Amino acid sequence: MKIGIDSPLAPEEKARIVAECVENFNLYLNRWPEPRTTEGAVVEWEGEGCFVRDIEGREFIDCLGGFGIFALGHRHPQVLRAVKAQLDRLALHSQWLLNPVAADAARRLAEITPGDLRKTFWCSSGTEAVEGALKLARLYTHRPKYVSTINSFHGKTMGALSVTGRDLFRQPFEPLLETTFVPYGDIEAMRQAVDARTAAVILEPIQGEGGIRLPPDDYLPAVRELCTERGALLILDEVQTGLGRTGAMFGCNHSMVVPDVMCLGKALSGGVIPCAAFHSTDEIWRAFHPNPFYHTSTFGANPMATAAAAATIETLQADNLVWHAAETGQYFLDKLTELAAQFPALIRDVRGRGLLIGMETADAARGEAIAARLFERNVLVAYTLNKPEVIRIEPPLIITRELVDEVLTRFADALKEESK
């Protein structure tokens, strides 16, 4: 497909690109949900800030944010400058010489993470970060078992899938790593599960795909204490909650809990270049010392990705976006809660923290219908994977209160229409 990016497209050119895109998706890519790959499918074309435009120029307010990728919005100028400058100098690294960009980004990450977390392994996706964390826990503790939670989501590569709490995704690939699943937020069930064979407990500070589910306030501190008592590591998967999303730099900051290993991704990319990491202490990292080739990655730590990560961290701090996410997120949550109260037959609950918000609808079909009505009004949202009745609202952290008000107006219109 020849795409004319640098010049305006004629109507027939747009139609050709859409038709070829649909055909190529259906012929050459993994199966995608049918409404997105049939006649009339929407082809995204450009993004800027809190907006995405399709090939026809239709503009959507992005309240999905690539499931957390676009914390800084689309094509943030500071991240673009950093990546373009690096591209002009050295795009990918030699794999053998020292890479100053990766080292600088690791220093910046160590400066903002809690406690004694300092060592970083760069990779390209959240599931890779989880894989590395699981390997590190096995190597450090010499124990075979993991404990995770029902409806958790940690990725779909074999190790990460092993600790993902949804049978629908796990069963076709069993046997997997030995993992015990317990209800999220239930500390007594966790006490029953963690034993002398447990290498690590892996948790999300807020369950994302599990329906934007917040644990009781004392849950993470109690799990931290339990892991310390029984010699298991605590892995916190901050791939979605990390880097300001919840109105704190990391989701665990709300509970004042320091994990043994932290997994990061999504927002670490700056919305420009895939970037992820797992991050731990000097003591635990010594498990890797006997052989630096225990765990490696060809594209992890590449200069463009780590330039994006460094620029992302700098921007979050310089623009005070963590505070902004807390303030704007609370406003958004309060207004959505007020709105939901007007439609008790449609909406069961609104919950969240910062700019990670879930609206629980009466059932999955109702959630899909409301999301479709928002799409008609040019607002992008989606359901959570393990709880499809919950609509996720995850806009860029740069969203203004004025734009939130516009989204609320469109939400109100969508709910009024759905209630008829």
Nearest-angstrom CA–CA distance, 222 and 139: 25
CATH of domain 38-68+320-419: 3.90.1150.10
Please report, for the chain, the start and end positions of each structural domain, with discontinuous segments joined by +: 38-68+320-419, 77-318
Are 20 and 13 in contact, with CB atoms under 8 Å apart?
Answer: no
- Which residues does 411 contact at the CB level (< 8 Å), separation at least 6? 336, 339, 374, 379
Q: Does residue 172 have a cis bond before it (omega within 30 degrees)?
A: no
> Which residue in the block uniquely carries the two structure tokens 């004629």?
10
The top-level CATH class assigned to 77-318 is alpha beta
CA torsion sign for 35, 38, 42, 44 is: positive
Global pTM value: 0.96
pLDDT band of residue 34 (cuts 50, 70, 90) is low
Burial label for 168, CB within 10 Å (0-12, 13-18, 19+), is: exposed
Q: What is the pLDDT of residues 334-367, one digit of tens each?
A: 999 999 999 999 999 999 999 999 999 999 999 9
pLDDT score of 3 more than 50: no
CATH fold match for the domains 38-68+320-419 and 77-318 = no
Question: For position 4, what pLDDT does the model report?
Answer: 44
What distances in angstroms separate CA 70 from CA 51, 195, 273, one per listed residue?
A: 11, 39, 11
Which amino acid does the sequence have at 83?
V
- Which residues does 336 contact at the CB level (< 8 Å), separation at least 6? 350, 357, 359, 393, 408, 411
For residue 104, the Cα-to-chain-centroid distance in whole angstroms is: 23
Poorest-confidence range of 29-38, 134-143, 402-411?
29-38
